[in-house]
Amino acid sequence: MAFNFTRADFPSDFQFGAATAAYQIEGTSFGRVGSSHWDTFAAVPGNVVNAEDGRVACDHYHRWGADLDLVRDGNFDVYRFSTMWPRVMPDGRTVSAEGLDFYDRLADGIVARGLSPSLTLYHWDMPSALADKGGWTNSDVGKWFADYTQAVIGRIGDRMDAVATINEPWCVAWLSHFLGGHAPGLRDVRAAARAMHHVLVAHARSMEVMRAAGQKNLGIVLNFEHSQAASDAPEDAVAARVYDGIYNRWFAGALSHGAYPEDILSALTPHMPEGFEDDMAAISGPIDWLGVNYYTRSLHQNVPGMAWPSERAVPGELPKTAQDWEIYPEGLYGVLMRLQRDFTGDLPIYVTENGMAGRDPGDRGAVDDPARVAYFDAHVGAVRRAIADGAPVKGYFAWSLLDNYEWAFGYDKRFGIVHVDYETQARTPKGSYRAFQKALARS
Ligand code: IFM
């Protein structure tokens, strides 16, 4: 099965990439890695499917060379990856030469294959030593993250073409501190409000360090959902608006306009860190690009009598992925157009993640994933339409290169364009990988 697009349908400098994240693929038992809050979260029964963790993952620590060959041979331009904070600083504060050596080899390997390296500094692996001090709820986290940034950039920054500070602040803050779905698994509005702010302060401090070091092409990666009311009832419209405020407008508003959306801030104000207003100028300092991660739309319903935010997501009628996420490419078009109109103007945008968990056949042989091919095709089509309508989208990266550790879903959900047999660690390119390889070939 082939895509309905090729590279030639995009501007000549448009970049296609494949993305991964350290905790999801490397294997924390390889090399010297400190404990992270994901290790301890996963150790509590009920938090993660089958209580699985990142100890082995895809053993990318030893197999990175072959994995990078796959990115190159798939005809991708960019490899998006992250560094693991507890590998670089096992106790959260002290730099490990062994950890940096690993990323040094990896950086060289990316460049040696003619790929453009796109680094994400934080993709969710907060060192336990810092989590013990409150992690994202502690106002010192900005300083801790700045020091970590310095360590990574000082060693591999010279080879990075693009750097993002943080992946998906909504997940780092709200999902992890209010909804309890990700590490550290809190359900605490005060912790959540603090994390919602401190994650952006950390972004700002990290930007300052990188600007001072002369590092170029810096951004942050936000996740967006197309949130809609579950019915025509006005209360459901309010419910969708609240969700949109927490998920989409909070971060885009702070970064673009230096202000949190008033409707959400008014509910969170009693829990916000004192003097948070003083940080807004730094938070809205210039970035060079914005990363957009998009997967699905969500439908929201008002729940009478429930404490704020009195809404819940309800299932919709569209076809769904194996994770029960509705497939809605129009939402990606809408997000890209809205960003340009309401938030980021002509700032370059990269779709840094998009993809689906599929019901791919078993653990052997060539893997056929026509549903994933159709998903990518439709979403790349939405990007094409957005570009035609004036959105400044400069790249599209598939999530993910490999089947990997899907957080609270353990290894149960497979997002890869390359199948991983977790018993043998054999990699098998799926149909979607072949489709990219063909569409992206340079004639
Ligand atoms: O696997 C994750 C990734 O780590 C962050 N963005 C969403 C993906 C799919 O859930």
Identify whether 353 is a catalytic site residue: yes
Residue 239 near residue 314 (C-beta atoms within 8 A): no
- The two tokens of residue 379 are 């979403």
Give the nearest ligand 1 atom to 404 CA: 1
Ligand 1 centroid–CA 353 distance in Å is 8
Indicate whether residue 168 lines ligand 1 (CB < 6 A): yes
pLDDT at 360: 78
Indicate whether residue 353 lines ligand 1 (CB < 6 A): yes
Cα 331 to the chain's mean position, in Å?
17
Give the nearest ligand 1 atom to 123 CA: 4
Ligand 1 centroid–CA 89 distance in Å is 23
Indicate whether residue 360 lines ligand 1 (CB < 6 A): no
* Long-range contacts (CB closer than 8 Å, 24 or more residues apart) made by 171-176: 171/124, 171/223, 172/122, 172/124, 172/136, 172/199, 173/136, 173/198, 173/199, 174/246, 174/247, 176/136
Active-site option among 168, 225, 311, 406 = 168
Indicate whether residue 356 lines ligand 1 (CB < 6 A): no
**Burial category of 378 from C-beta neighbours within 10 Å (exposed 0-12, middle 13-18, buried 19 and up):** middle
**Burial category of 111 from C-beta neighbours within 10 Å (exposed 0-12, middle 13-18, buried 19 and up):** middle
Residue 41 near residue 80 (C-beta atoms within 8 A): no
- Provide the pairing of β-strand 427-429 with 418-420: antiparallel
Indicate whether residue 399 lines ligand 1 (CB < 6 A): yes
pLDDT at 362: 60
| CATH among 3.40.50.10260, 3.20.20.80, 3.30.200.20, 1.10.10.10 for 7-439 | 3.20.20.80
pLDDT at 364: 54
Q: What is the best residue among 182, 320, 406, 412 to mutate for testing ligand 1's pocket, by most ligand atoms within 8 Å of CB? A: 406
Ligand 1 centroid–CA 245 distance in Å is 21
Per-residue pLDDT of the chain (443 residues; tens, 9 = 90+): 899 999 999 999 999 999 999 999 999 999 999 999 999 999 999 999 999 999 999 999 999 999 999 999 999 999 999 999 999 999 999 999 999 999 999 999 999 999 999 999 999 999 999 999 999 999 999 999 999 999 999 999 999 999 999 999 999 999 999 999 999 999 999 999 999 999 999 999 999 999 999 999 999 999 999 999 999 999 999 999 999 999 999 999 999 999 999 999 999 999 999 999 999 999 999 999 999 999 999 999 999 999 999 999 999 999 999 999 999 999 999 999 999 999 999 999 999 999 999 987 765 556 899 999 999 999 999 999 999 999 999 999 999 999 999 999 999 999 999 999 999 999 999 999 999 999 999 97
Residue 20 near residue 76 (C-beta atoms within 8 A): no
Give the nearest ligand 1 atom to 353 CA: 6
**Quick one: DSSP state of residue 344?**
I
Identify whether 168 is a catalytic site residue: yes
Indicate whether residue 225 lines ligand 1 (CB < 6 A): no
